[in-house]
Structure 1
Amino acid sequence: MVLGTMLFALVALMVPARAAEGGGPSEVTFIIQVLILVAAGRICGEIAQRLGQPAVMGQLIAGLILGPSVFGLLAPDWQRALFPTAPEQKAMLDAVSQLGILMLLLLTGMETDPSLIRRVGRAAASVSLTGIAIPFACGVAAGEMLPDAMLPHPEMRLVTSLFLGTALSISSVKIVAMVVREMNFLSRDIGQIIVTSAIIDDTLGWVVIAITFSLARHGTVDAWALGQAIVGTFVFLALSFTVGRVLVFRAIRWSNDHLEGEFPVISTILVIMAVMALATHLIGVHSVLGAFVAGVLVGQSPILARHVEEQLRGLIVALFMPVFFGLAGLGADLTILSNPYLLGLTAALVLIASIGKFGGAFLGGALGGLDRRESLALAFGMNARGSTEVIVATIGLQMGALSHDLFTMIVAMAVLTTMVMPPTLRWALARIPLSEDEERRIAREAFAATGFVPNLERLLVTVDGSANGKLASRLAGLVSAFRGMPVTVLDLRPASPAAEPAEARKRPAEAEIVETSAEGRSAAPTMAMKRSGRRGRKQT
C-alpha cells in the first residue's frame, strides 16, 4: 500500500513535468526510477524471504509488476511516464544495470570457494559434466528447432542456440548455497557436493558465455576468431590464478597498510575488477568473465577482513541488485503468454530445462558414487536457475542474440524453476540420514568453531629474542600457515647494542616491524625477521 501510494504520487508529478520538458532525458526521472526500483525490490524481496524464497526472486518480480506485464497493462500511460522508451532516458538506467552486472559477478566470485572443489572434486565434477552437457545439448537442439520468427537474426541461429543452451545448463550458486546453508547441510557431504557442483556450473558457464560473445561479435563461425577467443580465455585464466593471484593479494595488502583514506581496500577491489573486466574485453570475450575471476581472487585474499567484505556486499545488495533485477523484470512482457502458441513454447522450454538438468544431475550423482536419495537431492538442488539465468539472458538480449519474446520466456523459466527448487530440495535433504563419519566430523568442526583461533583475522606477535618470544613466533607461524592468515611481527629487542645483554649483541637484528602473509603458506612456519624502515600501520 505504501509503495502504491508513493508510485501514484511520483507518476502524477512526472506526467506534467515530462510534458513540459518535451520528453527529453531527465535527471529527476532517473532518480525516481532508481528510488522506485530499490524500494519495490526491497519490499518484494522481504515478502519472498518470508515465503521461503530467495530475495532476488522478489526483486525480479518487482520489475515484472512495474513493467508492461502488470503496471503497463493497468495504466500504460503512467507506466510509460515512469519508464519512458526514449533512448537517452533508458541509457541512464542501462548504465547502472551494466555496472550492476559486473558488481554481481564480482560478488558471485567472492562467494565462490575453490577449496570445496578439491574436497569433493570427483563427485562434483561428475555431476557438473553431465549436469551441464545434457541440458546444454537440449537447449542447443531447442534453439535449432525454433521458428525464424522467434529469432532476432535468423542468420545467427547458432549464437542464439548457444545462448539458449547456456541459459538452460547453468545453476544459480547463490540460491543453491542459500538453501543448503539454511538447512544446515554445508558441513554434510551432500551439501558440499551440491554447492561445489553449482560453483563448477557457474565457472564453466561464464567461460562458455565469454566464447559465445566472441562468436556473436563476428556474426558467423570464424575458426580463427573462435580459436583466438578460446586460447585467449584459457591463457587469461592461467595467468589470473598464478601471477594474477599474487598481484591481487599484494595490491589489497598494500592498500590496506599504506593508504590513509576511507575504504581503501574497497577502492582497490573495484579497480581490480575493472582492470580484469577490461582485460577480457580486450582479448575479445565478455567482460563478465574478468569480473567473476576478479571476485574469486579477491575472495581468496588472506587479508580480506570480514567487515570489508560486508561493506562491499552491502553496496551491491542494497543498490545494484534491485536495480539490475528490477530492470530485467521491466524488460520481460508476460502478456505475450496470452498467446497460446508462445505459452506452449514457454511450457516446453521449462519442461526441457527441468528434465535436462534434473536428469543430468541425477545421472552424474549416480556415476559419482552417490546413492538414490543423495542423487535425488542433488538433482532438485541443481534445477534452480535464478539470478545466473537472468544475467545470461540479459547479456544475450543486449547482444542481439535473443529476441524480447525469448528473453521473456527465459525469465519466466528462471522464476518457475527457482521457486520450485527450495521446497523440493528441503524435502529431499530431510530424507538423507546422517552417517557416523559425518556426525563425528560435524561435532569436531562445531567444537573447533567455538575456540579463539577460528575467529581471528590477523595476528600481531611481539617477540624479544627470549625463549618465550621464539615460542610465540613459532606458534604464530603454525597458525598462519594452517589458517592462511597474515601476521604482523613486532621485534621488541633494544636497538642500541649497549643496552643489550652481552650474549644478545651478536644478533644483527634491530627493533622493527615485519609483516608476513599467507602467500608463502608452503614455507616453514617460523617467522623470519628482516629489516624494515616503516612502523605500524592500520590493520583490517
Structure 2
Amino acid sequence: MDVIEPLTHHELLLVIVQLTVLLFVARLLGELCSSVGQPAVVGELLAGVLLGPSLLGFVAPGVYGSLFAVSASQFHLLEIISWLGLIMLLVVTGLETDIDLIIANGRTAVILSAGGIIVPFTTGFALGWVLPAEFIAAPGQRLVFSLFIATAMSISAIPVIAKVLIELDVVRRDVGQLILAAGMVDDTIGWILLATVAGLARTGVVDFGSAATTVLSVLAFLGVAFTIGRRIVAETVRWVDNAVGSDAALLSTVMLFALAAGAITQYMGLEAILGAFVVGVLVGQVNRFDYRVRHSFETVTLSIFAPLFFAIAGLRMDVAALADPTVFTVGLVVFAVACIGKFGGIVGVSGLAGLSKWEGITIGGGMNARGAMEIIVATIGLGLGILTTSTYSIIVAVAIGTSLMAPAIMRWSIPKIEMSERERTRIEREQYLRGSFLNDLTRVLLPTRGSVDTQYAARLVGSLFRDRQTDLDLLRIDESPRSSRRPSKFRSRLERFRLVRDGTGSRETSATRRAESERTDRLFTQVEQRLGDRAGSTRRLVRELDGSASETILESASSGYNLVVLGERTLGGDPGAPLFSRTIDRVIQRTPCPAMIVSTSESVKRTPALMDDPIRRILLPTVGTQSSRHAAEVAFAIATAENALVEIAHVVTRPQSSDRFAGGPDLSDELDIGSQIVDREAELGRQLGAQVVTTVTAADNPGAALVSLADRNDADLIVMGSNTRPISRRAFFGPNVEFVVTNAPCPVAVLNSV
C-alpha cells in the first residue's frame, strides 16, 4: 500500500502563519467591537474582509497573494479548521437552546416564531425567484436558490441576541425570555429548512420525491435523537463523569458525540451542523455537564475556533463586488427585504400574541440580527454551489448590518417596557436560585445498611429532589470476611477446578454469594421504594470494606459528590459520647462535601410503617446563619413536594437567673431581631412556593422550647442547620441541636453545609 506523503515544509509553514494572522486580527477587532458595544462577531468577520481581496489584496497584493491567494488544496486546510470551528459553534448554540423555556412560553413563542419564519421565508422566496440569473451559481436550480434565500432570510442569531440581552441585563426579563424562546424556535426550524434545502441541492434534481426523502431524513434523525439519542447521551455523560470525573473527559465526550452525529447527518445527505446542533441541545439537558464545564467549552470555542471560522468566512467576501452598481442595488434590496420580512413579520403578529407595541419592536429588532447564523448559511450555500461570490458577499453584508442594528433598537425600546409585579417577583426568585444551595447539588451519596433511619432518609431525599435532575448513588459496604468476597479471576479458576475435581468446596461459597446478593438486592429495593418517582437517576453501588466503614464512605464521597445523606439513630444523651455512631461521627468531621444526617423518632423505630405517614407540618428552627438558610431551602423543597406547612421558629435565650435584673430582662431588641430573621426566611419560602407561618419566642433552654413546640403543634419533621466543630475528638453540633435530635418527638434532619 502506498504511504500518503505528509505536508511539505512550506505547506505546513503557510497554514500556521495563516492561522496566526487570522486569529490575531479576528480577536483584536472582536475586542474593539465589544469595547464599543457591538457584537464581537462583527469584528471577527471584518478581520477576514480586511485580510481578503477587499483591503489587503488591494493595498498589498503581494502579501495577500503569498498568504491567501493559494491553491485550492492549500485553502482546504483552512476550511478544515473552519468546519471544526463551525461544528463547535453549533454545539454552543445547542447548549444555549432551552427546550423547557420554549415550552413555558409556548403559545406566545409559536405566534412570534410564525411571524418571524413565514413572512421572511415568503418574501425571501419571492426575492430569490426574481433576482437576476447572474446571482445564481446554477441558473437551472432557481427553485433551490429561492428556497435557500428564503431560509437565509428566516434565520436569527441566538448567540448575538443572547450576548446583547446579557449586556443590557434583560436576559431574564419576560421580553428577553420571549426573544430567546422565539429565536430558538426560529433557529431550530431554520436548521431543518437548511438541511432540507442542502439535501435538495446535493441531489441535483428538484422533485417532490427528493424533497420528501430529505424531509423524512430530517424527521427520522430528530426522532431518534430526541428519544434513543437523548438517553444514550445522558447515560454516557453520567458514566464518564462517574468513571473519570474530569472536565477534560466530559469535553472530549461532547466533541466525540458532535463529530459522530455530524458524520451521521452528513452521510444521510443532510448537513453536519444539524447533528452538532442537536448534540448541543441534548448535552445541555444533562445536569452533569454543568456551568463550569460548559463555560470551558464555550471559552475555547468563542476565543479560538469561532473567530477563525468567521475570519475565514470573511476572506471569501469581496467588498469590491459590492461597488458594482448592480450588485450594490441588489444588496440594498436584499437588506431591505431581510429587515422588512423579519422585523415586520414579528411586529405584525405581536398584537395576536398579547404583547405591547414596544415589546413587539424590541423582539422584532432583536430577532432581526442574523450574525453568525447567516454566515454559516452563506458558507454552506457557497460550498454547495448555490451562491455566487457576489451573492455570498451580499448575505455576509446583511448579517453584519442587521447585527449592528439590533443593539441600537433594543437599547432604545427596552426602557419603555414596564415591568409587572409578577415579573419582578420571578426575577427576584431566579436571582436567589442562581446562588442556591440546592441548585448546586448534582450528585448525592446515600450510604445504607437498610436501617429504618436510612429508609426514612431516602424518603426525604425522594421529596427533596423530586423535580430536580439530581443523580443519587446508593452505597452498600460489603463488610463480609475477605474469604467470602467475590474472588479474583485466578481464584475463580481455582475454585472451578476444585468443583470439577471433588464436587465440593465451591458450592457453599457459591450459595453464600447468592444469598449475599439476594440480601443486597432486598436492601437496595427497600430504600428505592422510599425514594418514589424522581427526575434524576439512581444507581446501586457496592464497595468492599477498606480499612473501616467511615474510610470507605469518605473515599467514595471524595469522588465528586455534592452531598452525603446519612441515616443514623442517636446514641443517647451522654454528653461525653458522640451523638451518633463512631462511623457517622468520623464521616461528619472529615466529609469533603456537605452532609445531612437523618434520625427518626422512637415511635418510627418501633413501628417502621409510620414512616409512610404524610408529612403535613415541618418545624424549621433558624438563627439567621448561612447553615440555617441552607436548611431552610431543604425544608421548603420537602414541604413543596409534600404539600406541607413550614413553621419557622426563632428562640431567644433568656439570660441566666444570676444575670437577670429586677423586674425581668428586656428582650424586645432580641425579639425584634428574631422577627426579622424569620420574616426573611418566610419571604424565601413564599418565593419557593411553600406555605409558611412564623414563631418567635424566648426560653431558658431553646432546645427544650423547640422540642415542646414540635410536640405541641404535632410536627412531622424537624429540619435544622448546623456547623459542626470538634470537641473532645467528636463532632459537636451545638447544645440546642443535640438536645433536639436526642429528645424530638418526630424525625430530625440536620444539615451540616458549611
Q: Which TM-score applies when normalising by structure 1?
A: 0.87
Task: Give the Cα separation in 2 of the matches to 1:318 and 1:528.
Answer: 37
Indicate yes or no: 2:122 matched with 1:137.
yes
| Contact 2:477/2:542, CA 8 A, preserved across alignment | no
| Contact 2:157/2:372, CA 8 A, preserved across alignment | yes
**TM-superposition CA deviations, 1:107-130 (whole Å, max 9, x none):** 111111111011101011111111
Task: Give the Cα separation in 1 of the matches to 2:448 and 2:309.
Answer: 51
Aligned partner of 1:539 in structure 2 is: 560
- Map 1:454-473; keep pairs closer than 5 Å: 454-463=439-448, 465-466=450-451, 468-473=453-458
1:110 to 92, 95, 101: 95
Give the number of the structure with larger relative contact order, counting CA–CA contacts within 8 Å between residues 6 or more apart. 1
Aligned partner of 1:408 in structure 2 is: 393
How far off its partner does 1:464 sit?
A: 5.0
Gaps of 5+ in 1: 1-22, 497-504
| Contact 1:465/1:493, CA 8 A, preserved across alignment | no
Residue type at the aligned position of 1:397: L
| Contact 2:471/2:536, CA 8 A, preserved across alignment | no
Aligned partner of 2:67 in structure 1 is: 82
Task: Give the Cα separation in 2 of the matches to 1:334 and 1:529.
Answer: 59
Residue type at the aligned position of 2:533: A
What's the secondary structure of 1:490's corresponding residue?
strand
Residue type at the aligned position of 2:219: F
* Distance 1:424-1:261 versus aligned 2 partners, 3 A rule: closer
Indicate the percent of aligned positions where both proteins have the same amino acid: 34
Residue type at the aligned position of 2:335: V
| Contact 1:477/1:526, CA 8 A, preserved across alignment | no
Residue type at the aligned position of 2:352: L
How far off its partner does 1:475 sit?
A: 3.4
Residue type at the aligned position of 2:519: P
2:248 to 263, 266, 271: 263
- Map 1:421-432; keep pairs closer than 5 Å: 421-432=406-417
* Distance 1:265-1:449 versus aligned 2 partners, 3 A rule: closer
Aligned partner of 1:192 in structure 2 is: 177
How far off its partner does 1:384 sit?
A: 0.3
| Contact 2:370/2:403, CA 8 A, preserved across alignment | yes
Aligned partner of 2:155 in structure 1 is: 170
Task: Give the Cα separation in 2 of the matches to 1:186 and 1:262.
Answer: 27
| Contact 1:460/1:490, CA 8 A, preserved across alignment | yes
2:376 to 373, 388, 391: 391
- Map 1:30-429; keep pairs closer than 5 Å: 30-259=15-244, 263-429=248-414
How far off its partner does 1:377 sit?
A: 1.0
How far off its partner does 1:331 sit?
A: 0.5
Task: Give the Cα separation in 2 of the matches to 1:490 and 1:260.
Answer: 18
How far off its partner does 1:527 sit?
A: 9.1
Task: Give the Cα separation in 1 of the matches to 2:539 and 2:241.
Answer: 21
Aligned partner of 2:470 in structure 1 is: 485
**TM-superposition CA deviations, 1:436-459 (whole Å, max 9, x none):** 111222222223334311233333
| Contact 1:478/1:525, CA 8 A, preserved across alignment | no
> Mean Cα displacement is larger for which, 390-399 or 25-34?
25-34
What's the secondary structure of 1:243's corresponding residue?
helix
Task: Give the Cα separation in 2 of the matches to 1:513 and 1:25.
Answer: 64
| Contact 1:124/1:197, CA 8 A, preserved across alignment | yes
Indicate yes or no: 2:533 matched with 1:523.
yes
* Distance 1:324-1:528 versus aligned 2 partners, 3 A rule: closer
Task: Give the Cα separation in 1 of the matches to 2:536 and 2:33.
Answer: 51
RMSD: 2.9
Residue type at the aligned position of 1:98: W
Task: Give the Cα separation in 1 of the matches to 2:466 and 2:378.
Answer: 43
How far off its partner does 1:463 sit?
A: 4.3
How far off its partner does 1:41 sit?
A: 1.3
Task: Give the Cα separation in 1 of the matches to 2:123 and 2:384.
Answer: 22
Residue type at the aligned position of 1:118: I
* Distance 1:526-1:336 versus aligned 2 partners, 3 A rule: closer
Structure ID, larger Rg: 2
Task: Give the Cα separation in 2 of the matches to 1:467 and 1:423.
Answer: 63
What's the secondary structure of 1:284's corresponding residue?
coil
Task: Give the Cα separation in 1 of the matches to 2:345 and 2:542.
Answer: 57
1:508 to 512, 519, 530: 519
| Bigger proportion of residues as helix | 1
| Contact 1:493/1:511, CA 8 A, preserved across alignment | no
| Contact 2:462/2:533, CA 8 A, preserved across alignment | no
**TM-superposition CA deviations, 1:355-406 (whole Å, max 9, x none):** 1111111123222111212111111111100000000000000000000000
Task: Give the Cα separation in 2 of the matches to 1:474 and 1:69.
Answer: 68
How far off its partner does 1:495 sit?
A: 5.3
| Bigger proportion of residues as strand | 2
How far off its partner does 1:146 sit?
A: 1.1
Task: Give the Cα separation in 2 of the matches to 1:526 and 1:228.
Answer: 37
* Distance 1:461-1:86 versus aligned 2 partners, 3 A rule: same
| Contact 2:478/2:542, CA 8 A, preserved across alignment | no
Q: Which TM-score applies when normalising by structure 2?
A: 0.63
Residue type at the aligned position of 1:426: R
| Contact 1:491/1:511, CA 8 A, preserved across alignment | no
**TM-superposition CA deviations, 1:256-305 (whole Å, max 9, x none):** 22248882222221121122112212222112111111111111112213
Task: Give the Cα separation in 1 of the matches to 2:139 and 2:378.
Answer: 18
Residue type at the aligned position of 1:350: F
Task: Give the Cα separation in 2 of the matches to 1:529 and 1:98.
Answer: 39
Residue type at the aligned position of 1:141: A
| Contact 2:33/2:42, CA 8 A, preserved across alignment | yes
What's the secondary structure of 2:473's corresponding residue?
strand
